[in-house]
Amino acid sequence: METMFGVAFLAISTGFAVQMHHSGRTFDRVSTDRLERQLAIENEAQRLSLIAYEDLTGVVEQRDPNSQIQIQIEPFETESRNGLHLTVQTTVHSQPLQHHVWRMEPDE
């Protein structure tokens, strides 16, 4: 009888350990995917910040529409200057990730 209880306890403990291990691996995979996508949109935002202001709208419009990274561009005005607000976004496991870039019109 004691041996049966010991084997049952061992089986249940092993089941919990396997489930915890599986949950940890799933969490790691989701975290890695999220980090990879976050770095991708930050790299894209950095690339866009290096493009000349007057060429920016054309570059965004020429991007592949099927890309995993979407870019929205909206003009804005401040008191004395104009600029562009770029939203670089993607999704990871149904959760949105965004990065914002503001570019001011160069002084003439």
Q: What confidence tens digit (pLDDT) does each residue in 22-80 have?
A: 999 988 999 999 999 999 999 999 999 899 999 998 998 888 888 889 999 999 998 88
**Entry pTM:** 0.72
pLDDT at 108: 66
Residues 69/41, Cβ–Cβ less than 8 Å: yes
Contact 101, 86 (CB under 8 A): yes
